[in-house]
A and B are shown apart, each in its own frame.
Chain A
Amino acid sequence: MIIAEMKPIEEILDMIRDYQKILVVGCKGCVAVCSTGGPKEVSVLASLIRIARKKEGRDIVIDEESLDRQCEPEFVDLAGDKVADADAVLSLACGAGVQMLAERFQDKVILPGCNTTFLGVTEELGVWSERCAGCGNCILDKTAGLCPIARCSKQLLNGPCGGSMNGKCEISKDVDCVWQLIIDRLTRLNRLEMLEEIFPVKDWSPAGHGGPRKMVREDLKT
């Protein structure tokens, strides 16, 4: 899923400083799963903002909404009436959701309440970590199902580097060396010989280095 975290409350308060009536819009997709932007977090942020503004003696009216997915126009449009009522809209979805709001509501100030951080997994309740960098040309078949692009600090394709020590990456003792994990897993799978294949220079154009990406499925288009 897409992982995001709430921006520092100080930054959010500063963003909405000039508004008297705002709408906080969450998303029940990825950001709800990582406990950043679902209905629960929308209520918490709204309450926090009201407390802060009341303390300043500048009350604010806050409406709340959470959409099934903020990255789809059909769902976003459902918030139309509430959006129309607000001076500004504060979104707790990922950057894609924020931009979908901006696209659908051209005349409205749309603000991001989150920092979108990475594509990752839930390790345990309250802990999420990165797994995929969206490189556009997946190589997990060659790396025992573990991604060196997202998880090797140097994005090495023919690792590990000399900084791998006791299974940890040289940048921090808390970061696993993914190349060590790849080797361990290939050993378990009895496929260690796969390491002999040298990765050629990677084409980064599908990774976004060739400009913004788009996917079209002609069979689905209307």
Chain B
Amino acid sequence: MKEFEPKIIAFCCQYCAYAAADLAGSMRLKYAPNIRIVLVPCTGRIDVIHILRAVENGADGVLVAGCLEGGCHFVEGNFKAKNRVRYVKNLLGRIGIEEERVEMFNLSSAEGPRFAEIANEMTERIKTLGPSPLRREG
């Protein structure tokens, strides 16, 4: 059987994670190709519905990547995102979708290698969990 290749949606803040992904590219770092990046102006823009829609439409994992705590360009967008991610995890857990499929990460724009690490880490995690239950039975 073909090895399971997860589809992971990464909501990346333009001031940090997105720039870090760019840097990882410029540095020619190799990382798992399973990440589909969605650029957002700030992780504070991510609402519960955005994460749910990704899951609903078949994402095996969703990651939200924002600035280091205290480093948000809009002061507290990443804290808002953190709370919303926690909220979604709880909702999903209660309907039997593994909470680990959704995660928040924090990094700075200078951390290209860290971005590659996060991409790999999340891909490994989702590979261990297997495909989203929506894809398995749907």
Contacts and interface: CB of A to CB of B under 8 A. Distances in A.
B29 interface: no
Contacts, number: 43
Give the contact-size bracket for chain A: 10 to 19
B39 to A, nearest CB: 22
Interface residues of B, number: 17
27 contacts: A8-B94, A9-B91, A9-B94, A9-B95, A40-B47, A40-B49, A43-B49, A44-B48, A47-B49, A47-B52, A47-B53, A47-B56, A48-B95, A50-B56, A51-B55, A51-B95, A51-B97, A51-B134, A52-B95, A54-B56, A54-B138, A55-B97, A55-B133, A55-B137, A56-B137, A57-B137, A59-B138
A43 B53 CA distance: 10
Q: Which 10 A-B pairs have the closest CB atoms?
A: A52-B95, A47-B52, A57-B137, A55-B133, A54-B134, A43-B49, A51-B56, A44-B48, A47-B56, A54-B138
Contacts of B138: 54, 57, 59
Contacts of B52: 44, 47-48, 51
B96 A55 contact: yes
A200 B53 CA distance: 58
A104 B31 CA distance: 58
B92 interface: yes
Contacts of A165: none
Given A13-B95, A51-B55, 19 more contacts: A8-B94, A9-B91, A9-B94, A10-B94, A44-B48, A47-B49, A47-B52, A47-B56, A48-B52, A48-B91, A51-B97, A51-B134, A52-B96, A54-B56, A54-B137, A54-B138, A55-B133, A55-B137, A57-B137
Interface string A51-73: 11011110100000000000000
A52 B95 CA distance: 6
B7 to A, nearest CB: 15
Nearest to B53: A47
Given A44-B49, A57-B137, A57-B138, A51 B94 contact: no
